[in-house]
């Protein structure tokens, strides 16, 4: 299964609608990096509102994707992480230190804009 990546002006929007499995996550990592390369995007918002569970591998992939995208010059913001997911991540000791987060898509876009302007 592939996760659709939408382009909006200079940004890329991804809304993850299913619980990610390892294969999908790796595929997504590849697709996103290709898309950034192709479109020359400045910013990426990954919305996780409908994701109910994130395991340590998916968390690592997400962290990696953020860093890889940063390397390619695109800022990434994770949005809509659910309370339950946040608690599980913290319990597992995964803090995603370097990753900017926002409450929802709207605030995520605002945050991207701020970061890009700064």
Partner 1 sequence: MKPSVIEMIYSQHDEIIRQWKNEVTELNQFDSTLPTNWFHETNEEFVNLIMGTLELEENEAKEQFRSFAERLMNAGWPLSYFTKGMQLFRRVLVQMLTSDESFESEKVFETLNEVEKWVDGVINQLVDEYTGSWENTLHLQKLALKELSAPLIPVFEKISVMPLVGTIDTERAKLIMENLLEGIIEHRSQVVLIDITGVPVVDTMVAHHIIQASEAVRLVGAECILVGIRPEIAQTIINLGIDLRKFPTKSTLRKGIETGLELTQRKIISTS
Neighbours of 52 (CB within 10 A): 11
**Token digits of residue 106:** 């709207």
Looking at the Cβ atoms of 69 and 80, the one nearer to partner 1 is 80
- Residue closer to partner 1, measured from CB, 30 or 116: 116
Of residues 35 and 63, the one with the C-beta less far from partner 1: 63
Binding site for partner 1 (CB under 8 A): 78-83, 85-87, 89-90, 95-96, 101-104, 107-108
Rounded distance between C-alpha atoms, residue 3 and residue 20, angstroms: 9
Q: Give the residue among 108, 97, 23 at the shortest CA–CA distance from 57.
A: 23
Closest distance to partner 1 from the beta carbon of 55 (Å): 15
CB of 28 to partner 1, least distance (A): 19
Least Å distance between CB 65 and partner 1?
16
Nearest 5°: the CA angle 106, 107, 109 is 70
Supply the minimum distance, in Å, between the C-beta of residue 75 and partner 1.
Answer: 15
Q: For residue 82, with 0-12 CB atoms within 10 Å meaning exposed, 13-18 middle and 19 or more buried, which class applies?
A: middle
Q: Which is nearer to partner 1, 30 or 67 (CB)?
A: 67
């Amino acid at each position: 299964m592939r996760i659709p990546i939408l382009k909006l002006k200079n940004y890329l929007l991804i809304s993850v609608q299913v619980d990610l499995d390892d294969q999908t996550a790796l595929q997504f990592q590849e697709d996103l990096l290709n898309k950034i390369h192709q479109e020359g995007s400045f910013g990426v918002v990954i919305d996780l509102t409908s994701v109910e569970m994130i395991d340590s591998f998916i968390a690592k992939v997400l962290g990696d994707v953020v860093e890889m995208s940063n390397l390619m010059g695109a800022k990434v913001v994770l949005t809509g992480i659910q309370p339950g997911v946040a608690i599980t991540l913290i319990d597992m000791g995964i803090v995603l230190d370097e990753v900017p987060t926002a409450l929802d898509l709207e605030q995520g876009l605002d945050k991207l804009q701020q970061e890009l302007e700064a």
